[in-house]
Amino acid sequence: MNPSAEPLPPVRRVVIAGGGTAGWMTAALLGKLLGKRLALQLVESDEIGTVGVGEATIPSMRLFHELLGLDEAEFMAATQAVFKLGIRFDGWKRPGEQYFHGFGTTGRDHWSAGFQHFWLKGMARGLAQPYGAYSPETTAALQNRFAHLPDGALNYAYHLDATRYARYLRGLAEGWGVQRIEGKIAAVHRGGEGGPITALQLENGARIEGDLFVDCTGFRALLLGETLGVGYEDWSHWLPCDRAVAVQTRSVREASPYVDVTAHPFGWQWRIPLQHRVGNGLVYSSREMSDADAPEVLARHVEGELLAAPRVLRFRPGRREKAWVGNCVAIGLSSGFLEPLESTSIYLIQRAAIRLAQMFPAGGVRPVDADEFNRQMGADVEHVRDFIILHYHVTQRDDSALWRNARAMAVPETLRRRIQLFAETGRVFRPLDELFAENSWVQVMMGQGLTPAAHHPAADLMGDAELGQFLARLQQQVAQQVARLPAHQGYVERLCAPHRPPG
């Protein structure tokens, strides 16, 4: 430390460029934590639409809501949310076959080995039920049941209306001191050649000055990309889909507590039920299907009346080389985008917003903070990237060039090691702070068709009779627990009823 160095200018004014989910999640968190100490402004235009199709989440969102002190029933009523216990995959291993990626744990681990080792031996000896039968989340989801249980015995997330969610967060953020400014950004000003961002110039002539700027301008990345010139790392050689077409439909059946994702020769399809409608979409490769054909194909594969015209979104899988440069931090699509599979986009927004709050440079922007933020976010994104690539690479589908190329491609070394370790030993080692737990990797790898060649010797300490009793007891406990749960739809309606407006 150099005691003679000039003090850094403090950060007292934060300007968030762009609203949507990323902008208002960041604004709400900073407002809740620092709204009494900072001038917080968010610039957005009603004339600029948001992507607004990120409707499925993962359990980490509950932590974010705890930090904000949200009332769950109020949030769910405001966003027409339902619960989510996992994802049902159809046709990812091969056409016509399904598996389920449930949240929470499956079975009971031993200190020396995960439950999958005991299950693998049980399957080989004809003593085991399907893997999901030992998961409360999977069993409850497929029976359309849900309730809050003591000690968090069911691990869950939400399906929500992303547009309503941004509006809900806006109301909270404004209550915590965030000022919303309506207007389109016409120019971004910097302090000299290569200097920090100093202000946003709006089309109406207003000049919004700040000390720290958060880029939530979506794929355009107006601040970090266009203004600061931060490059983009393209991952399309690993992630083949570069388009999505989305549409909302009227509900024709009760909302299930899981997302349906169905593989097709050109990519895959999602179905996300909410209280008031269903979100649908196709994620596809432009090499396999044209943008002109995609809306018609989607319309043929959905249930219920279309509530709007399908929208085509173009994206390039990858990330910005850095998310924090100088006094600009990119959060959300402006920092990069992988694809919707496994519902990680809102999670990455949440992680970035929490990190920014934890590392907030009140005493001045320091390169050491930016470097550490970029290192941590980089590790998060690469972990998510590898997990998504796994779904494409480990498959037995060969009905299109997309799937044949995905099977044959060289994957990142980090993923190659995970696959090899599991294939040979049945083991998964999860570094600290990674999003997807061991059970997620196990469910997806086995669901996609990767069966380990061996199990841990700890499983051999049980004879057939003892192992059979152990597995039967676990499965019976899950079945009994789930049988006591109410229907998911009715539970949501009762929970949200007190928070609905009259009439």
List, edge to edge, every strand of the sheet that includes 243-249.
98-102, 86-90, 259-264, 267-273, 278-284, 243-249, 311-314
Asked if residue 167 and residue 260 are part of one domain, the reply reads no
Confidence of residue 411 (pLDDT cuts 50, 70, 90): very high
Note the pLDDT tens digit of each residue in 217-261.
Answer: 999 999 999 999 999 999 999 999 999 999 999 999 999 999 999
Question: In this structure, is residue 220 part of a structural domain?
Answer: yes
What percent of the chain is modeled with pLDDT above 90? 93
Q: Which residue in 321, 434, 440 sits closest to 379, CA to CA?
A: 434
For residue 71, CA distances in Å to 66, 76, 168 come to 9, 9, 12
Number of domains into which the chain is organized: 3
Note the pLDDT tens digit of each residue in 309-354.
Answer: 999 999 999 999 999 999 999 999 999 999 999 999 999 999 999 9
Question: In this structure, is residue 83 part of a structural domain?
Answer: no
Contact 305, 249 (CB under 8 A): yes
**Does 1 have pLDDT greater than 80?**
no
Note the pLDDT tens digit of each residue in 93-139.
Answer: 999 999 999 999 999 999 999 999 999 999 999 999 999 999 999 99
Position with higher pLDDT, 502 vs 195:
195
Asked if residue 201 and residue 329 are part of one domain, the reply reads yes
Which token pair is 217?
């301008």
Asked if residue 251 and residue 358 are part of one domain, the reply reads no
Asked if residue 310 and residue 222 are part of one domain, the reply reads no
Question: In this structure, is residue 194 part of a structural domain?
Answer: yes
Contact 377, 349 (CB under 8 A): no
Confidence of residue 204 (pLDDT cuts 50, 70, 90): very high
Asked if residue 271 and residue 211 are part of one domain, the reply reads no
Domain final residue, candidates 261, 280, 314: 314
- Check the CA dihedral 51-161-155-146 and report its sign: negative
Note the pLDDT tens digit of each residue in 168-194.
Answer: 999 999 999 999 999 999 999 999 888
Asked if residue 477 and residue 335 are part of one domain, the reply reads no
Describe the chain by its helix, strand, coil percentages, rounded to 5.
Answer: 40, 20, 40
**Confidence (pLDDT) at 401:** 97
Asked if residue 330 and residue 200 are part of one domain, the reply reads yes
**Confidence (pLDDT) at 146:** 98
Question: In this structure, is residue 490 part of a structural domain?
Answer: no
**Does 6 have pLDDT greater than 90?**
no
Q: Which residue in 312, 307, 162 sits closest to 244, CA to CA?
A: 312
**Does 63 have pLDDT greater than 80?**
yes
Question: In this structure, is residue 298 part of a structural domain?
Answer: yes
**Does 274 have pLDDT greater than 70?**
yes
- 322 is known as an active-site residue: no
Note the pLDDT tens digit of each residue in 363-398.
Answer: 999 999 999 999 999 999 999 999 999 999 999 999
Question: In this structure, is residue 478 part of a structural domain?
Answer: yes
Asked if residue 251 and residue 127 are part of one domain, the reply reads no
Rg of the chain in Å (alpha carbons): 24
Q: Between helices 115-124 and 464-483, what is the axis angle to 10°?
A: 110
Concatenated DSSP letters of 349-370: HHHHHHHHHHT--TT---HHHH
**Does 3 have pLDDT greater than 60?**
no
CA atoms within 13 A on the CB side of 183: 19
**Does 51 have pLDDT greater than 70?**
no
Question: In this structure, is residue 366 part of a structural domain?
Answer: yes
Neighbour count for residue 57 (Cβ, 10 Å)? 25
**Active-site position among 84, 93, 121, 322:** 84
Mean pLDDT across the stretch 84-97? Answer: 98
Question: In this structure, is residue 62 part of a structural domain?
Answer: no
Asked if residue 479 and residue 390 are part of one domain, the reply reads yes
* Structural domain boundaries enclosing 189: 13-55+161-234+318-383
**Confidence (pLDDT) at 500:** 83
Strand 328-330 with 212-215, pairing? parallel
- Give the largest Cα separation in the chain, rounded: 79
Asked if residue 479 and residue 394 are part of one domain, the reply reads yes
Burial of 398 from C-beta contacts in 10 A (0-12 / 13-18 / 19+): exposed
DSSP 3-state of 337:
strand
**Does 47 have pLDDT greater than 90?**
no
Asked if residue 218 and residue 340 are part of one domain, the reply reads yes
**Does 436 have pLDDT greater than 80?**
yes
- Please, which residues bridge with residue 87 across strands? 101, 259
Beta strands in 133-173 (DSSP E): 157-159
CATH number at residue 27: 3.50.50.60
Contact 146, 1 (CB under 8 A): no
Q: Which residue in 119, 121, 83, 120 sits closest to 103, CA to CA?
A: 83
- One-letter amino acid identity for 396? Q
DSSP 3-state of 146:
coil
**Confidence (pLDDT) at 49:** 63
Strand 13-17 with 212-215, pairing? parallel
**Confidence (pLDDT) at 430:** 85
Asked if residue 173 and residue 228 are part of one domain, the reply reads yes
**Does 293 have pLDDT greater than 50?**
yes
Domain final residue, candidates 383, 410, 437: 383
Domain final residue, candidates 383, 400, 417: 383
